[in-house]
Structure 1
Amino acid sequence: MPDAADRKIIHVDMDAFFASVEQRDDPALRGKPVAVGHAAARGVVAAASYEARKFGVRSALPSVTALRRCPGLLFVPPRFDVYKAVSRQIHAIFSDYTDLVQPLSLDEAYLDVTANRRGLPTAWKTAKEIRARILEETGLTASAGISYNKFLAKLASDQRKPNGQFAVTPDMGADWVETLPVKRFHGVGPVTAAKMERLGIETGADLRGKSLEFLQRHFGSSAEWYFRIARGIDERPVNPDRERKSSGSETTFDRDLTLDAEIEAGVLGQADDVWAWCERAQAFGRTVTVKVKYGDFQLITRSRTQPGVVRRHEDLREASLALIRSVLPTDKGIRLVGVTVSNFDKPEEEEAALPLFGAR
């Protein structure tokens, strides 16, 4: 493995991926504010075009709020099978340049191009060629960040969005980090950013000025990570074999539900979605979890783990029903349910599947 400072890492991030696919496939949507999702009262924006983002429409925003901010917003239902197919095209392009590809989602990935399989003179030219091929083969634009580590490459990919790229070289990394607001840092969420601000930490320079002891006192086990990234240090390798830990699906109902049959039907629908992924990925887990959010936003989960994996569709449905029935009946309206399978077995360790809830 090359020295960390000698690595050439590219972070590729598709531009407004879901919304861009919809605009590509429907010319009537081009140049207009588009949200992928449903306009129902309980709907949530899954993705927004750049035209919609100008109005403050973002993913995870309630649909009613999005329409209030942008009355001309056009909602289109998600087509995840299409997005997955396009993602496979993009990853096939990546594989022409390196075997070291670490997907983060359908629309972004890290690539370690240190080995320079294509013989291109620089990582900058490699990123430029990859982006050109994505545009040619899919009709979509991508942005890229190029640096000597993953943390900086991910930050850099946001710097020239959309349809651009930016490089952070070893001689500029630490100084560049000092100029950025900490709320942009990967691993610093809104809650942590607010806590840092209360402690007088708003920029990378502020963070770098704090001792490791200070950070440990206030941030515990995350302190060393913050201490290192403030200096542009990240020695994590691009890991193409990173295992997926779980697969889940959830839905928000149009109204709060109290009838057992309606709630159970919602859970079974999510179990069916999860099973479709398990079959495609040939990944089967031992733990089934059902998530419930009530109308007052109280959140609970119920889980069950067995020695054997859940390898049959009907077993996952039975497990999900048993878990949701443990909180039924209810007088308290339920607004959201979800199902997750986790604790995957590696193929060589798999045992014969066992019924999740005893003999059938």
Structure 2
Amino acid sequence: MGLTSKKVLLLAVVIAVALFILTIWLWPRLSKGNWRAVLGRIGLLLATQISLFASIGLFANHSFGFYASWADLFGQEQAPGVVHNYETGPNGTKLKMLGSQRVSVAGGSKPSVGGRIDKVLVRGETSKINSPAYVYLPPQYFQAKYAHRKFPAAVVLTGYPGTAEALYKKLHFPQAQHDLVKQRKTQPTVLVMMRPTVAPPRDTECMDIPRGPQTETFFTQDLRKDISTHYRIGAEAKSWGIIGDSTGGYCALKMTMRHPDAYSTAVGLSANYRAPLDATTGDLFGGDRQLERENNLLWRQQHLPAPPVNLLVTSSKQGEPNYRHTLRFIEQTKTPSRVASIILDSGGHNFNTWRREIPAAMDWLGDHLKV
């Protein structure tokens, strides 16, 4: 049974409840002062508390999608595919199709009504990084009226470590996009849903790390080229946006500010404004202080020319640690950059807060993408 399985969660809860009841029932019998009774009490307490913490951890992971599998949890994630699975053609390397599924909306069994989610394996020809992605194709993609039309696209990123499945199972990005289009509030847009952790288990913060994974190149060059080659998507930056939460939000803002020729529009949901340096990231900058400063978004705004891009940032007055820095980011934004914000009165760094912001953010994002 998988880490995210409801059966695993239910089993953990049942075990925790059973151990709690067993502890109450056996405690009077273990009240003696001999060593066996003492060891029995210690064993029951440890087993009960471990089962309780396991239940809480599994519930949190099921709700927020921190880890996708046992291998992911223990830092032993298996590779999603191998290079020889790819085919080549006159237009270059083809995406490896790993499967497709319906979208959880009314009439979702028909792609022309609910759209479709394709699971693909993207090969980074320049970065040498391979990573899976979930591509949401809106219903219009399958309708005769739009048969020869190209669509705008938005890369959708999780936080770290995150699971790509959470983007459509928990945060409901495709469903939000579907509802907005149905209400004629935005244009149909292809969503490319991914983790920013494309070199697991390392948190690369979407950096081209000196002598390390070239994550920034993967997202700004390889991903866009491969996806736009194989789907009807505009290839220019004006057709591409990027949205993410937490670490994914930092990646979205940073890559758009650093590469306006790749992305024209970015949304940072509860974004950080600089990369942390800790055990999960390692040395991101190879000791290069200038490179570190250039990846600090607040420093960039003060010392480097502003790019012609559209930026949306979100935070909460109470509950979000990035509120003060978000206000500073807004104040420092200079033309030709354009900035907008969603500021809630209260909200934490969690899925519930982001679900409140996503519809308005997707509406804004769609308004700024062009084909």
Q: Give TM-score, length-normalised by structure 1.
A: 0.26
TM-score by length of 2: 0.26
